[in-house]
Amino acid sequence: MATIYDIAKKANVSPMTVSRVVNNSGKISEKTREKVEKIIEELNYIPNNAARSLTLKQSKILSLVITDITNPFYTKVARGAEDKAKQMGYRLLLSNSDESFEKESEYVDMLISSGVDGVLMAPSGDESQKNLKTLIKNRIPFVLIDRHVKGIDCDLVMGDSYQGTRQLLEHLIGQGHSKIALINGPTNVSTAREREKAYFEILRLAGIEADKKLAANISYMQNDSYKFVKNLISLPESKRPTAIFAANNFIAINTIKSLRQLNVRVPEDIAVVCFDDPDPIPDFNPFLTIAAQPAYNFGYMGIQLLIERIEGNGPAEKQKVILPPEIIIRSSSLKK
Amino acid sequence: MATIYDIAKKANVSPMTVSRVVNNSGKISEKTREKVEKIIEELNYIPNNAARSLTLKQSKILSLVITDITNPFYTKVARGAEDKAKQMGYRLLLSNSDESFEKESEYVDMLISSGVDGVLMAPSGDESQKNLKTLIKNRIPFVLIDRHVKGIDCDLVMGDSYQGTRQLLEHLIGQGHSKIALINGPTNVSTAREREKAYFEILRLAGIEADKKLAANISYMQNDSYKFVKNLISLPESKRPTAIFAANNFIAINTIKSLRQLNVRVPEDIAVVCFDDPDPIPDFNPFLTIAAQPAYNFGYMGIQLLIERIEGNGPAEKQKVILPPEIIIRSSSLKK
DNA sequence: CTGTTAGCGCCTTCAT
DNA sequence: ATGAAGGCGCTAACAG
């Protein structure tokens, strides 16, 4: 409610002096500083950010665009992002794209008009290129997390899909599995592509002939694994997989649900492994064998890179941070 | 980047005309409207919200303050809040208070200076009264969710702690339990108080003499149930509880973890029930018996009430929406 | 060390 | 139906 003018009048100084006190800028005598500060206190003055943004052309607001706040993976990303943002004096605008390019586009427009200083985004897919170009055109710095986008060179924080896939598959192979199915996300998402590539490569290296019919792509949102799973288990025994590698936590859960409906037991009949924990708290349901990614750090470091870029402290070349996964072996993949 | 002036010049009209086109206000001839719209398209014009906020004194930004985005309960709240906000043309600023009054205060100051139009808050506790009064002083409308605050009369969306507690306890009693412990949140939180009150009342109504030593309050964040749980199970058998009512999902999980460490089986040795699902996806780990609250709706309706208040369509008297829980009986409380 | 001037982009008000 | 003037609250640039 109160403005610097109100303060200025009451303190018998110019608005500029008040501004300097508020921002700790320029030189101010101890005496006037105290006088002004007292009145600021008295009048409960809080700076008006809209006005400040207008002149400074920066809002101290960052945007976090993720695909599903309901997924514990992104929940932890959000946590990390928020902690770092707060620490650096920024606030965070939350957007859920639901893996939809259209929703993402709407949000991007909203964000630009909101005047956010930067965007931390888990892109919905390769079409996101268009949205990112919109950001570039509007000179809004951004950092990508979890997924990169074809044709866009930028700072990013990602996991290591190859290593995670390798560890997961080697574990399964070590358990004696050779017919391993893959239930993957859509191929317009970089992580899905990389996991698929790694899957075929690692099987090959292990001397296992991959059966393309054992690999499928489904949507992260619809999560319609049922049909494919049913196909899998109705294969003749010589072809039927004994293990399933699900690309992410939600696909894994959905797959297990499908298996249960079909009266197939995990892990007795089929082992299941995936990326990322489906539980907000590890260790409570120690069931799924996973390649756990450091989600909190995706958010934390993502914001860090973003702020470096915004404040111009970032190196000229783009930074690519790759965070390794940690395999956690639990009962969903263990022989009794 | 482009402003209404750029558009105006190119279209040979005044900035005012452009403004009217953008906002669909006033009367504009079809011809000029089309001309202006074409140029807006061409120049990729997006309105500057800072400037708009400055004159209009509204930012179309709402703030969501919750205590832990990592908890699936609040995750769903956030989802609901965000969906409704987007639908109404607002954006959402996310804040995690971590159940800390201090953090909440910092955020409240940030929010005020950000010029948010309203706040949807799950207060950290009764001390939040101070923060809410700050909001009132700054004329920022707010709605409380999940918890109310002593001495503050405002719109709110809450669960029904009494009914949830009743259903949970009656279920336990029906299972033959009479020594039922309570592991509750801190008493400066309204839901904890209400659950405690309900707990004693319902036991009394059931003719069970409550033992005050079986009830404890712990922090939602530290979640340090271990010591109390250890005490409980080392009680002589005549006093030892056969069931535990945990106030929320995270307390329940932590309690079960403690029990496991102590080699106590759930539900064989002790049954456990609580409010709210600890899993983001129901049905996947159908283990805990819960009083499930409609979290999504807490967020959705909360934002709805908030916007009604902001836009002045709300009724003069404050609205109190009470959303009933639904009991879901699962194995954590079932006799084999 | 402190003050003055001007302008950020938009909209309200008043004029035409 | 359209335009001109002025101001929202703040700060950069310059002046003293």
The pLDDT value recorded for residue B224 is 87
Question: Residue A17's domain is classified under what CATH number?
Answer: 1.10.260.40
Give contacts of A287 with chain B, Cβ < 8 Å: 285
The angle subtended at Cα B142 by Cα B51 and Cα A52, nearest 5°, is: 25
Residue predicted with more confidence, A104 or B281: A104
Same domain, A82 and A176: no
Is residue B140 within 8 angstroms of chain A, CB to CB? no
Number of domains in chain A: 3
The pLDDT value recorded for residue B282 is 82
Give the pLDDT confidence of A175-227 residue by residue, as tens digits.
999 999 999 999 999 999 999 999 999 999 999 999 999 999 999 998 889 99
Point out the residue among A50, A113, A284 whose CB comes nearest to the CB of B257. A284
Domain assignment present for A78: yes
- Residue B137: pLDDT above 90? no
Is residue A110 within 8 angstroms of chain B, CB to CB? yes
- Structural domain of B103: 59-159+295-324
Give the pLDDT confidence of B196-237 residue by residue, as tens digits.
999 999 999 999 999 999 999 999 998 889 999 999 999 999
Q: Is the CB of B242 under 7 A from strand C?
A: no
- Distance in Å, alpha carbon of B282 to nearest chain A alpha carbon: 10
Least CA distance to B2: which residue of chain A? A138
Domain assignment present for A285: yes
Give contacts of A49 with chain B, Cβ < 8 Å: 50, 113-115
Mean pLDDT taken over chain B? 94
Same domain, B127 and B174: no
- Could you say which residues 12-41 of protein chain A have a Cβ atom less than 7 A away from any atom in strand C? 12-17, 20, 26-29, 31-33
- Distance in Å, alpha carbon of A209 to nearest chain B alpha carbon: 33
| Protein-proximal positions, strand D, CB < 7 A | 1-5, 7-13
Domain assignment present for A130: yes
Subunit contact A61:B93, Cβ cutoff 8 A: yes
- Residue A291: pLDDT above 70? yes
Domain assignment present for B53: no
Rounded distance in angstroms from the CA atom of residue A323 to the C1' atom of nucleotide C5? 52
Domain assignment present for A34: yes
Can you give chain B as a three-state secondary structure string?
CCCHHHHHHHHCCCHHHHHHHHHCCCCCCHHHHHHHHHHHHHHCCCCCHHHHHHHHCCCCEEEEEECCCCCHHHHHHHHHHHHHHHHCCCEEEEEECCCCHHHHHHHHHHHHHHCCCEEEECCCCCCHHHHHHHHHHCCCCEEEECCCCCCCCCCEEEECHHHHHHHHHHHHHHCCCCCEEEEECCCCCHHHHHHHHHHHHHHHHCCCCCCHHHEEECCCCCCCCHHHHHHHHCCCCCCCCCEEEECCHHHHHHHHHHHHHCCCCCCCCCEEEEECCCCCCCCCCCCCEEEECCHHHHHHHHHHHHHHHHCCCCCCCCCEEEECCEEECCHHHCCC
Same domain, A310 and A205: no
Same domain, B86 and B172: no
- Residue A314: pLDDT above 80? no
Mean pLDDT taken over chain A? 94
The pLDDT value recorded for residue B41 is 92
Same domain, A271 and A213: yes
Point out the residue among A91, A95, A278 whose CB comes nearest to the CB of B110. A91
Rounded distance in angstroms from the CA atom of residue B65 to the C1' atom of nucleotide C6? 39
Same domain, B148 and B168: no
- Residue B319: pLDDT above 80? yes
Same domain, A211 and A286: yes
Q: Using a 7 A cutoff on CB, list residues near strand D.
A: A 3-5, 15-16, 19, 22-23, 25, 47-48, 51-52, 54-56; B 12-14, 16-17, 20, 26-29, 31-33, 51, 54-55
- Distance in Å, alpha carbon of B143 to nearest chain A alpha carbon: 19
Give the pLDDT confidence of B187-203 residue by residue, as tens digits.
999 999 999 999 999 99
Give the pLDDT confidence of B107-128 residue by residue, as tens digits.
998 898 888 999 999 999 999 9
Domain assignment present for A53: no
pTM of the model: 0.92
Q: What whole-number distance in Å separates Cα of residue B112 and Cα of residue A42? A: 17
Same domain, A152 and A169: no
Residue predicted with more confidence, B167 or A284: B167
Question: Residue A196's domain is classified under what CATH number?
Answer: 3.40.50.2300
Same domain, B82 and B14: no
Confidence class for position A336, pLDDT limits 50, 70, 90: low
Same domain, A112 and A170: no
Q: What does the radius of gyration of chain B's CA atoms come to, in whole angstroms?
A: 25
Is residue B78 within 8 angstroms of chain A, CB to CB? yes
